[in-house]
Structure 1
Amino acid sequence: MSDDPRIDTSVAHPARRYDYLLGGKDNFEADRRSAAEIVKRHPTARLSAQENRFFMHRAVRYMARRGIRQFLDIGTGIPTSPNTHEIAQEIEPAARIVYVDNDPLVLVHARALLTGTEQGRTTYIEADLRDPAKILADSEVRDTLDLTEPVGLLLIAVLHFIRDDDDPAAILGTLIDALPAGSVVAASHATPEYMPAEQVATLRAVMERQWRDRTGTELRELFTRPDLRLLGPGIQSVARWWPDEAPQPRPAVESVASNGVMAEIRRT
């Protein structure tokens, strides 16, 4: 796949594990073993991954239809079609997108696959959500996005990899403070609240070093700021977000261990 020495094939990476759960082929044995352990404890993990993607699709369409023409997609993962730029540029060919991920393998595939329209621009940077200031200062971000105009910020299935000691509120604050009024943030987040307690305990036993699941109340706390207005149904299972626009039939929330949230940035 790649001879990049930074790619450690012996350790599972969230982007590659997610690729495997979505049915992709750009993953290694360690990623597949890790995914298998998750599926053993959460048998509908593949469905959860797919529903996160469907939520992203609906969120991008919503943003593009309301006139947002630029997107910052952090934690994008290995390209899976349709991706953010395909959805946005179908509505507005001049839309501009920056993808961000911390897995070097994603960069390899992004360079080959993330090509957009001639009118728009699609680019990728290798960076980590834990260092939002570095993301915002990156020359590709600055050259591609105009941060004086509304931006669609996507944090799909990535915030649960930010543990409490990483200070997720501060990370979100840095990103939100950099965006103007009219910008929209969309995030999805693993949650324990739809699963039996024993199932949650077994999942945490294999994932506790990598992630921090949060309830809807805990997720709401991260998005409780005077300059944010929650949209749509608020904090809800991604399976219940704008269900009429989603593939049918809709799965039960108990099968999809993930909440979604969308919020508009307002400035007084």
Structure 2
Amino acid sequence: MTESRLVQQIAHALRHERERAGLTQQALAARAGLSQAAIARIERGDRLPSLTTAERLLTALDRQLRIEVEPLDSHLDATLDEMSGVDLVERLEDLGLDRLVAALGDLPYVLAGSTAALLQGAPIPVDAVEIAVRWQDSPRFTAFLERARAQRWNARWEQWGGVHPEPEEPGEHRWSTRHGELRARMVDELPEPIRVRLGTRTYPVEPLVEVEVTDRRAAELLRRHRQRLAAGTGDQPDGSAG
């Protein structure tokens, strides 16, 4: 693993856990005894923290650091090969993307994570529509969830339901709705989107550079996808951005 990949993975893990806990960077800084600027640099991937600092931050989030090793690229190639043969439009229909987008109405959002990568032509697995939503829009998001008869994923029982659907309540930001499965990343500010046109529709999409910071799994697949394209062994992107 190169240092740049490690920086991105730590940036993603810290941001994910902070947002899961419903904390701002300033609130986490107060808990951990660090500056907000230091946390911002780590989350942007501008700085690789020491193990001591990483443990300090995660402890403030009631989490602990774990180190794992894995095969370098063979498992990534198998996943990319499996996905590259599936039609993009068919995959988006299976996700129910247009149904969910229509149901969101005027709620401010940006398509994020693996969904954003898929719309930009990356043949990676996506099993739910992923969006970024601002914390300040949480009441409007909750109203949508109620209209959509959403049930939230209960990680303890590994089933849908039995937990409060509101984003402010503890738990994974993952819901089963009558329009399809939806996952959300709650953020202080929405990422600046690009516009991706597919057929007659245009979608607000998180840029790939942001996806690689916020989604560890997608980042690994995107890195390998680019390597394969450069070597002439991967499929060309299907989507178009404008």
- Fold shared, TM-score > 0.5 on shorter chain: no
Name the structure where helix makes up a greater proportion of residues. Answer: 2
TM-score (norm 2): 0.29
Q: Who wins on radius of gyration, i.e. which is larger?
A: 2
